[in-house]
Amino acid sequence: MIFMYIRCHRRLARVLCETGQVETERAADVLRGAGHVAVLTGAGISTDSGIPDFRGPQGVWTKNPAAERTSTLSHYLHEPEVRRLAWQQRVASPAWTAKPNPGHAALVDLERQGRLVALVTQNIDELHQRAGSDPALVVELHGTMRRVVCWSCGADGPMEPVLDRVRAGDPDPHCLACGGILKSATISFGQGLDPLTIERAEEAAVKCDVFLAVGSSLGVYPAAGLVPLAREAGAGIVIVNGEPTPFDPIASAVVRGSISEVLPLLVAPA
């Protein structure tokens, strides 16, 4: 019985491996035939750089649901203790020392091939730009954690000097110009996205040959809505993610696995 179990287990592992290889080859074929590729990236592309996602099995909010309050605008603006926690989280974020991984580099290669029309990202870490992606092609749906903005007067600037104030003992730094509440230049729950940014993302989705969604749960809108939008416009859909997504059934190919390992294979020229 033991040997039979081992044989069955090995057979199943081989089938799963072969299935993954077939899907990877199918996804690569779809991408090779595309002259205009739009990409959507989510937190999953940055996990191999040491930045945890939010909703995955080891996600920040999965492990500590209370931490989600710091990303909700109403709590942040009206509860000083939430702001203090948010500033401590910002200071301790692994994103400050994170480096781009081969997944980020693969999208730079896709750009250098002249086939990338837009890199739409839900991430706020700027690792795409640090990897070498043209900032003009990067569409940051949720803003950036590397800048800060005053909620009262609109003054903005780099985040690092404000973090230095927190490290020096100010638990809830306010705007030096007007005394207003400072917040990272990111989009919180309850805060509207920039209409022009959404327009750029939607335009890329309807004009591409292939829409490549990488490391996104595709459960947050309007980002998730780009997938069916691209599909309705006639684009092929390739999804690369560690977990199933709601749009897997309409995809031309779905690939599971480490993004930093899989993505370079998918975008490599023939």
Catalytic residue numbers? 142
Q: Sign of torsion, CA 257 233 136 164?
A: negative
Q: How far apart are CA 26 and CA 48, in angstroms?
A: 24
How many CB atoms neighbour CB 168 within 10 A?
A: 8
Q: Sign of torsion, CA 261 262 266 267?
A: negative
For 2-14, letters b (16+ CB in 10 Å) and e give eeeeeeeeeeeee
For residue 180, the 8-state DSSP code is P
Q: Residues for the chain: how many in total? A: 270
